[in-house]
Amino acid sequence: MDTTDKSAASPSIASVGEFGLIDRMKRLLGTPETPDVVRGVGDDAAVVRIGGGRVHVVTTDGMIEDEHFDRAFMPMEYLGFKAMSVNVSDIVAMNACPRFAVIALGLPANTTIEAVDALYRGFRNAADAYGVTVVGGDTTKSRLLTLALTIIGEATEDEIVYRDGARPGDALCVTGNVGASKAGLRVLLRERDRLHAEGNSYHVDLDSIQYVVQRHLTPVARLQVIRDWKACGVRPSALVDISDGLASEIHHVCRSSGCGAVIHAASLPIARETRRVADQFSDDPHDYAFFGGEDYELVFTVARDDLDKLDPVSFTVLGEVTAGAGVVQVTPSGSLEPLDAGGWQHFA
Amino acid sequence: MDTTDKSAASPSIASVGEFGLIDRMKRLLGTPETPDVVRGVGDDAAVVRIGGGRVHVVTTDGMIEDEHFDRAFMPMEYLGFKAMSVNVSDIVAMNACPRFAVIALGLPANTTIEAVDALYRGFRNAADAYGVTVVGGDTTKSRLLTLALTIIGEATEDEIVYRDGARPGDALCVTGNVGASKAGLRVLLRERDRLHAEGNSYHVDLDSIQYVVQRHLTPVARLQVIRDWKACGVRPSALVDISDGLASEIHHVCRSSGCGAVIHAASLPIARETRRVADQFSDDPHDYAFFGGEDYELVFTVARDDLDKLDPVSFTVLGEVTAGAGVVQVTPSGSLEPLDAGGWQHFA
């Protein structure tokens, strides 16, 4: 009866990768037939009509112990906050407002009540911060700590922004700064290794690296940015959040929109703390910025005419959308190079 | 930085159990403040207003390897079908129709493409059977195979039936038959043990036990039943599905509704195949029926006047709702006994 244990006969999913898997899923599940589905599998979130010109926007994201976090250096309260932020970010990346959440938890039986309370406090803090109501959930035993959150957002149908709307001539922009989450992960892994090597006598000094660690452990979804856009009457032409990496998201937007882009690496917004960590490791901070991932900033394209309406401190223009395909970067030294997609690949 | 590894200082969740955990969660998350939430944590699914007198009904349920299924005797196609059925059943148990699904998957890296395809086929078959559209998902690497589905259903606000609406004098009923899933699990575990003991030369003969095995591996949510109710203009006063066990669901309905019930054990609808399996194991088939769980039948209470409008082959009257608290059973021998809640307890 076993259909799974045939590794000799059938190749494993590692050979097709995450995106190959998503393509397969789309094919096997077929095209939605109901007219109420405006957008199904493929963008940051799905869009379904609820009547009166309004839509619900739905996203789900799982976080699994030892893949997405290490319980040893991820306080449970932060984990709850981050799980909510990651999902809210997908709703925000559709230019919609998060409304409701359901939470499916798998908890090891020896999890302490204290730890579960901390996890729920994290959910609660994030829910309050984003105006989300947790309306339901499911809690079950599991050998690994697992979280799967689903968030439902709301918008009018014409407010929704997809990743495929970029037009040649649009400015290509990013909110906040990038690469900080990767820098935070780097130092956390270093401190963990030192702690393992030197034992409990080792004192982890997080103060000097607080900013990047915080960006990694408790990222904040850019809900305020889309509220500001709405207030000033601007609607981007394309929009995604940075979960896998800035470069791979730019590639996504360009491929989906049937265009390309020129990016100026010198304009990458990288925090001073991020540069300092990169220096410590003799890493190139541009690599953190382009390929690090988990920044949960927004990448967006917008008509040049709208740029002046936006608050300039909230974003950086990285370059321009081009009619020709492909993404090229102007390196800090001034040469033109193709920009690698890079980015995090599950199963790779 | 570790807040989880304090088992010596703080009691584990095993000491409060699943329901204690849900109560804690409700308290920590607070009461929903938005008027759009008609019902939050606590029923089979949450209910949120979407305008025009209509509601979205939302539920999430996780299934985790080695807790909910054993990959060795759960074909992946069945697993996909069951995961969808379990969630659709929660929507049906609110008297709503399932519409959209999102799926969060955790897959071991050595999972074969063949296995993933089979899993998606299972989702697709169930989606087609229930009229559900899969609109999104998330796939990530995991050491354990994990599934968390979220289903969104739809109804008008006055169609929704909660578990707390039972009134003294109502008939207490159940659809289909009960205990078959438990019987199926019993024989599957027996066959697995024999296979382990005797090796691959052992031939698993599933034909004679096909019905109960099928009820365990591919339960079907009772969507047709609630469609029939709608067609004949009947709305039950209370409604739940049997995931944990018939007895515990009856207790839930009674406690939530502030009443009690008298149940006639002799009227329990138990399939011939279920009785045969119970005989083989020298088990009492009433135990399977009352405490087995995972039948995904519907337990409902309904005004006596409405009973005649319902198709009599689709359900069985088990007893009556009483004004006094507590659930008693009239045993087959005619004596009166309190009915144990029993049922599946995670973390117990």
> Which of B7, B28, B148 lies closest to A112 in CB terms?
B7
Q: Which residues in chain A touch residue B4, judged by CB atoms under 8 angstroms apart?
A: 71, 76, 111-112, 115
- The overall longest dimension of chain B from CA atoms, in Å, is 64
Tell me how far apart the alpha carbons of residues B105 and A281 are, in angstroms, rounded to a whole number.
Answer: 35
Q: Which residues of B113-136 are buried (b: 16+ CB within 10 A; e: fewer)?
A: bbbbbbbbbbbbbbbeebebbbbb
Whether B143 and A138 lie within 8 Å, measured CB to CB: no
Whether A62 and B140 lie within 8 Å, measured CB to CB: yes
Beta-strand (E) ranges in B92-132? 97-107
Tell me how far apart the alpha carbons of residues B328 and B340 are, in angstroms, rounded to a whole number.
Answer: 9
Q: How far away is chain A from the Cα of B157, in angstroms, using its nearest Cα?
A: 14
Whether A136 and B30 lie within 8 Å, measured CB to CB: no
Q: Which residues in chain A touch residue B12, judged by CB atoms under 8 angstroms apart?
A: 109-113
| H-state helical runs in B41-112 | 76-92
> Which of A1, A99, A112 lies closest to B73 in CB terms?
A1
Nearest to A270 by CA among A210, A330, A202, A182: A182
> Which of B9, B29, B206 lies closest to A124 in CB terms?
B29
Contact A160, A60 (CB under 8 A): no
Whether B4 and A115 lie within 8 Å, measured CB to CB: yes
Tell me how far apart the alpha carbons of residues A242 and A250 are, in angstroms, rounded to a whole number.
Answer: 9
Measure the N-to-C terminal CA separation of chain B; round to a whole number of Å.
Answer: 29
- A215 Cα distance to chain centroid: 12
Q: How far away is chain B from the Cα of A341, in angstroms, using its nearest Cα?
A: 19
The pLDDT of A20-48, averaged and rounded, is 84
> Would the pLDDT of B43 be above 80?
no
- Please write the tens of the pLDDT for every residue from B143-196: 999 999 999 999 999 999 999 999 999 999 999 999 999 999 999 999 888 888
> Would the pLDDT of B10 be above 90?
no
Nearest to B297 by CA among B320, B274, B331, B324: B274
Q: Which residues in chain A touch residue B96, judged by CB atoms under 8 angstroms apart?
A: none
Contact B247, B347 (CB under 8 A): no
Whether A13 and B146 lie within 8 Å, measured CB to CB: no
Q: How far away is chain A from the Cα of B224, in angstroms, using its nearest Cα?
A: 20
Whether A71 and B7 lie within 8 Å, measured CB to CB: no
The pLDDT of A266-291, averaged and rounded, is 96
Confidence band for A13, pLDDT divided at 50, 70 and 90: confident
Tell me the residue length of chain A: 348
Whether B347 and A107 lie within 8 Å, measured CB to CB: yes
For B111, the token pair is: 């999972």
Q: Are strands B46-51 and B37-39 parallel, antiparallel or unpaired?
A: antiparallel
Mean pLDDT of chain A: 91
Q: Using alpha carbons, list the distances in angstroms from residue B230 to B13, B252, B287, B303.
A: 42, 24, 33, 15
**Exposure of B338 by Cβ count < 10 A (0-12 exposed, 13-18 middle, 19+ buried)?**
exposed
Q: How far away is chain A from the Cα of B9, in angstroms, using its nearest Cα?
A: 9
Kind and range of the H or E element at A107?
strand A97-107
Torsion of CA A220, A226, A232, A235, to 10 degrees: 150
Cα four-point dihedral sign A273, A274, A276, A277: positive
Whether B146 and A51 lie within 8 Å, measured CB to CB: no
Contact B163, B299 (CB under 8 A): no
Beta bridge partners of B154: B56, B97
The pLDDT of A77-88, averaged and rounded, is 96
Tell me how far apart the alpha carbons of residues A226 and A221 are, in angstroms, rounded to a whole number.
Answer: 10
Whether A109 and B3 lie within 8 Å, measured CB to CB: no
Q: Which residue has the tokens 């939530």?
A: B256
- Please write the tens of the pLDDT for every residue from A301-346: 999 999 999 999 999 999 999 999 999 999 999 999 999 988 555 5
The pLDDT of A71-97, averaged and rounded, is 94
Query: The whole model's pTM is what?
Result: 0.91
Predicted local confidence at residue A9, as pLDDT: 60
Q: Which residue has the tokens 């869009």?
A: A47
Whether A102 and B150 lie within 8 Å, measured CB to CB: yes
A-B Cβ pairs (cutoff 8 Å, strict): 329
Beta bridge partners of A51: A54
- Please write the tens of the pLDDT for every residue from B216-264: 999 999 999 999 999 999 999 999 999 989 999 999 999 999 999 999 9
Confidence band for B335, pLDDT divided at 50, 70 and 90: very high
Tell me how far apart the alpha carbons of residues A307 and A238 are, in angstroms, rounded to a whole number.
Answer: 14
